[in-house]
Chains A and B, each alone.
Chain A
Amino acid sequence: MGALLEARNVVKHYGSVEALRGASFEVRAGEVVALIGDNGAGKSTLVKCLSGVEQPDSGEILLDGRRVRLDSPTRARALGIETVYQDLAVAPDLDPAANLFLGRELRRRGLFGWLGMVDKAEMRRRAAEQFQRLGVRVQSLDVPIGSLSGGQRQGVAVTRAVVWANRVVFMDEPTAALGVVQRERVLEVIRRVRDSGIAVVLISHNMPEVQAVADRVEVLRLGRRVARFRAADVTLEELVGAMTGALHQEDAA
C-alpha cells in the first residue's frame, strides 16, 4: 500500500530560522504513525504544513500520490485532513454537540433551513452516536463543555476531528494534560480510528505511549527526518538515540 499523505523535502523558514530543512514524512491509511523529535526538531511546523496552517517554502505534499496545495486549514479539511490542536480549540460555552458540529452545523429541512435555522435535535442525536461509537464518555450532552473535566473536553475535541476526517487525523500531544485513565481512553480512541481505516499521526513526547499505540515511528531532528522504525521492533534506546543524534539511520533525500 502506498502512502496516503506524504511530504517530500519540505523546507520552511521563519525569517532566518530554518524550521524544516528538507523534511520528509509519510503515513498510510489505517496506521498510527508517531512523529517524534526533540523540542525544535520541526514537528509542529511539519504538522502545520501538512494541515494547511502554514505553506512550505519548497518541497511537495502528496495526497493519494497526487500533489496537493494545502493553502488553508479549510482546504485541508475539505480533503479529509483534520487536526486536534494541543490547546483543543473548543468553544467552552457551547455544548458538546455544538462543538462537534462547529462550522458545519446541520440545517433544518425546507424553509427553516433556508432561513438558516440549525437542526439541534439531529446534531445532538448524531453527536451521541459518535461519542458512543468512539467510546468517548461525556457526562451530559447539554452542558457547556467548559464545565466538563479535562479528559471529557479532550474527548470532544478528538471526536470532532475524527468524525470529519475521512483520510488523516493529526493529534498534537493529545494526552499531555490527562490522567492515567483518561490517557488510556484517548489511546483507545486512536486505535478505533485507525481500525476504521483512517491514518493517524500522533505527535508525542511520551515514549511508552508511542510504543503502546503507534504502528510506526518517524523521527525528526533539526528539521529533517533522521529515522523510521516499526514500533513493534524498536527499543526506547533507539528512539532516544535517533532524537538526540546518537543514532543516524537515514539522510534527507
Chain B
Amino acid sequence: MTEERTGKAVAPASTVDNNVDRMLPQRTLWQRLVTANTFWTGLVLIGLYVVFSVLRPNAFPTLFNFQTLLIEASVLLVLAVGMTFVIITAGIDLSVGSVLVFSGVVAAMVMEGLHGGDATHAGWGTILLGFVLSLAAGAAWGLLNGVLVAVARVPPLIVTLGSFGAALGAAQLLTGGVDVRTVPTALRNTIGFGQTMQIPHLVVVAAVVTLFAAWLLHTTRFGRYTYAIGSNAEAARRAGIAVTRHLVMVYGFVGLLAGLAGFMNLAYFGTTTISGHATDNLNAIAATVLGGTSLFGGVGSVLGTVIGVFIPAVLQKGFVILGVQPFWQPIAVSIVLVAAVWFDQTRRRARERGR
C-alpha cells in the first residue's frame, strides 16, 4: 500500500492551516447587533414609544399606561412565544386561540361544577385543579396536532385549521355557547389584577414563560433541534435526530402554552370569552413574523417575538391616546408585516443565488 502512495505528495500542513486564528475570534457584539433583524425591529419599537411619548407627554409615558400595555399583551405574548417554536420548525399553528378558549372552558366548568354552579368563592385547591386541567387540555390539543403533523404527515396548516374549528366547537358544545361567568375571586385578585411593587402578576407570569422559552430555544439541545428541523428536516433526520418525536413535542409545548394562556385569560376577564379569540392565531403569527422569525423555518428568536408583540400593542395604545381612529392600527401593522416578510424573502433569494 505504501508504494501506491509515494507518487502523491501530501501538502505540508503549514500551507493550509494558517487561518484558524482568523476563524476563532467571534464577531464583536456591535457587528452582530447591526446585522441582526431583531436590533432594527427593536429600534422601531423604541422609536414608536418615543414618538407617542413626545406627542402626548402627559398621557402616553405614564406608569399606568405602561402597566396596561404590558397586561393587555401578556396573554398574546404567551401564545406568540409558543408560535415562535412552531414557525421555526417551518410549521404553523392556527389553533392557539381556540385551544385557549377550550382550556379556559374546561377549567372554568370543572371549578364551577365542584362548587354547585358558582365558583366565585372557591379555594386554592379548586383553583390549582383548574390550572392543571387547563394545561392538560391545551397540551392534549397540541399533542393531537403534533401527531397529525409529524406522524400522519398532514400539512400543519390543515391540521391546525381543523383543530381551530374543532376546539372552538367543542368549547361551545360543552357550554351550550354561553360563557362561564363565575371564576374564583381568589384567582382574579391574585393572578388577574394582583400587583407587587407596581408589577402586575399577570405580567410576571408572561415574563417567566418568555424567559423560560428563550432559555429553552437558545441554549438547550431541544432548541437546537427545533432550528435544525426547520432548516433542513432531512438533514436532521440523517443526523440521527428523532424528528417525528421532536415535532410532536413542539406542538405539544405550544398547546401547553395555549392552555396556560387560557387560564391567564380566565383570571383576567373572569369569564371564558368564547367568542373573543377568533384572531388570536393571526395576531400571534403576525407578532412572531414581525419579530424576525422566518415562515420558512430555521430562523427566529424569542426576543424578536417579544418586540413583535409590542409593536402592534404600542401602536394601538398610541392611536387611542392620540385620538387617531384605532382602525388604523391593523393597517399599519399589516404594512410592517408584509414588508418584514418581503425583506426575509429577498434575503433568502440572495443567499440562494450565492450558491
Residue pair A135, B13 in contact (C-beta under 8 Å): yes
* B10 interface residue per 8 A CB criterion: yes
- Which residue of chain A is the closest to B239 with respect to CB atoms? A103
Contact for A230 among B4, B23, B221, B236, CB less than 8 A? B4
Bound complex: CA A128 to CA B17 (Å): 10
Q: Identify A73's interface contact among B13, B17, B240, CB under 8 A.
A: B240
Q: Would you call B279 an interface residue if the criterion is a C-beta within 8 Å of the partner chain's C-beta atoms?
A: no
Taking CB atoms, residues of chain B closer than 8 Å to A129 are 20
Q: Which partner residue on chain B sits nearest A215 by CB separation?
A: B4
A117 to chain B, nearest CB (A): 5
The proximity string for A residues 1-33 relative to B, scoring 1 for CB distances below 8 Å and 0 otherwise, is: 100000000000000000000000000101100
A191 CB contacts on chain B under 8 angstroms: 8, 10
Question: Which of B16, B26, B220, B224 is close to A135, meaning CB atoms less than 8 Å apart?
Answer: B16
Report the bound CA distance from A216 to B1 in whole Å: 10
Question: Which residues of the partner chain B approach A77 to less than 8 Å between Cβ atoms?
Answer: 240
Taking a contact as CB atoms under 8 Å apart, the answer to whether A141 and B24 are in contact is yes
User: Are B222 and A140 in contact, CB atoms less than 8 angstroms apart?
Assistant: no
Closest to B26 in A: A142
Contact of B16 among A89, A90, A147, A188 (CB under 8 A): A188
A103:B11 contact, CB within 8 angstroms: no
Does A94 sit within 8 A of B, measured CB to CB?
A: yes
On whether the beta carbons of B234 and A94 are closer than 8 Å, the reply is no
Instruction: With A103-B241, A118-B221, A215-B4 as known contacts, state yes or no: A91 contacts B235, CB within 8 Å.
Output: yes
Contact in complex: B8, A91 (CB < 8 Å): no
A-B contact count (CB 8 A): 118
The distance from the CB of A149 to the nearest CB of chain B, in whole angstroms, is 8
Query: Closest Cβ of chain A: how far from B283's Cβ, in Å?
Result: 25
Q: A103-B241, A188-B16, A191-B8 are in contact. Are A116 and B220 (CB under 8 A)?
A: yes
Within 8 Å by CB of A150, from B222, B230, B235, B355, lies: B355
Q: Is A206 an interface residue (CB 8 A)?
A: no
Q: Are A93 and B298 in contact (CB under 8 A)?
A: yes
Report if A74-B231 is in contact (Cβ < 8 Å); known contacts: A92-B298, A117-B220, A147-B351. Answer: no
* Residues from chain B with Cβ under 8 Å of A125 in the complex: 24
Determine the distance from Cα of A73 to Cα of B219 in the docked complex, in whole angstroms.
27
- Give B contacts to A, CB under 8 Å: 1, 3-5, 7-8, 10-11, 13, 16-17, 19-20, 23-24, 26-27, 32, 219-222, 224, 227-228, 230-232, 234-236, 238-241, 297-299, 351, 354-355
Which 9 pairs across A and B sit closest by C-beta, in order of nearness?
Answer: A135-B16, A93-B298, A103-B239, A91-B231, A93-B231, A132-B20, A89-B235, A116-B220, A103-B240
CB<8 Å pairs between A and B, sample of 15 = A91-B228, A91-B232, A94-B298, A104-B240, A107-B221, A116-B220, A129-B20, A135-B11, A140-B27, A142-B26, A142-B32, A150-B355, A188-B16, A192-B10, A216-B4
Q: Which A positions have Cβ atoms within 8 angstroms of B?
A: 1, 28, 30-31, 73-74, 77, 85, 88-94, 98, 102-105, 107, 115-118, 120, 125, 128-129, 131-133, 135, 137-138, 140-142, 146-147, 149-150, 185, 188, 191-192, 195, 212-213, 215-216, 230-232
